[in-house]
Amino acid sequence: MAVTGWLENLRAAEKTALLQDGRRKVHYLFPDGKEMAEEYDEKTNELLVRKWRVKSALGALGQWQIEVGEPALPGAGSLGPELITESNANPIFMRKDTKMSFQWRIRNLPYPKDVYSVCVDQKEHCVVVRTTNKKYYKKFSIPDLERYQLPLDESSLSFAHANSTLIISYQKPKEVLVAESELQKELKKVKTAHSSDGDCKTQ
């Protein structure tokens, strides 16, 4: 079963854990050389960050690619403040899950709710967001469902709009909820270092 297959991949990965600033940070190294780093709220076990890194064909480490959590601001640190401020006016897409749902937030979308259309494209296995005024269009996949080889279900999709932010939610299938619960049990077996230990690298 695909759900079991991904769980087995997680179990087989080499894992290290660090407790820092109220977050439990877990680093996974898979047999194929891929790396995944996750950060959980220490008290609630809510997933705050998930990012991936792969090696190039020449063996060099690539940049971390964020799947869940705040995106890095493009050019931050190299552009002037005025350019960074200007870029902040563009729509900002990020994923921030809840216990029961995958959730995405698109900031800087000031249009009223009835302008938006959010639907599933079964052929491309993705979610499509568009506006009737043709001011915004985006397609995105749900990597978790792909890893568990589960289909997209339009009835699990919903959205809301407030404070110039479009919030898209997709109710997690029961298979994912069970798998996430099993993963938390697995992570409890991983010895967790503390940032004060001084000999554990942070991600």
pLDDT at residue number 2: 63
Number of neighbouring beta carbons within 10 Å of residue 61: 11
**Minimum mean pLDDT range among 70-74, 139-143, 163-167:** 70-74
Q: What are 166's two structure tokens?
A: 């479009």
pLDDT per residue as tens digits for the range 91-137? 999 999 999 999 999 999 999 999 999 999 999 999 999 999 999 99
pLDDT at residue number 4: 73
Number of neighbouring beta carbons within 10 Å of residue 51: 18
pLDDT at residue number 152: 96
Question: Which phi and psi (to 5°) does residue 126 adopt?
Answer: -150, 170
Query: Cα separation of 96 and 91, whole Å?
Result: 16
Domain 4-69+89-193 indexed as CATH 2.60.40.790: yes
According to DSSP, the residues that pair with 144 across neighbouring strands are: none
Arithmetic mean of pLDDT over the chain: 87
pLDDT class for 53, splitting at 50, 70, 90? very high
pLDDT class for 86, splitting at 50, 70, 90? very low
pLDDT at residue number 191: 85
3 state SS for 21-75:
CCEEEEEEECCCCCEEEEEEECCCCCEEEEEEECECCCCCECCCEEEEECCCCCC
Higher pLDDT, 165 or 70: 165
DSSP 191: P
pLDDT at residue number 114: 95
Q: Is the pLDDT of residue 84 over 60?
A: no
E strand or H helix at 146: helix 143-147
pLDDT at residue number 172: 97
pLDDT class for 59, splitting at 50, 70, 90? confident
The residue type of 129 is: V
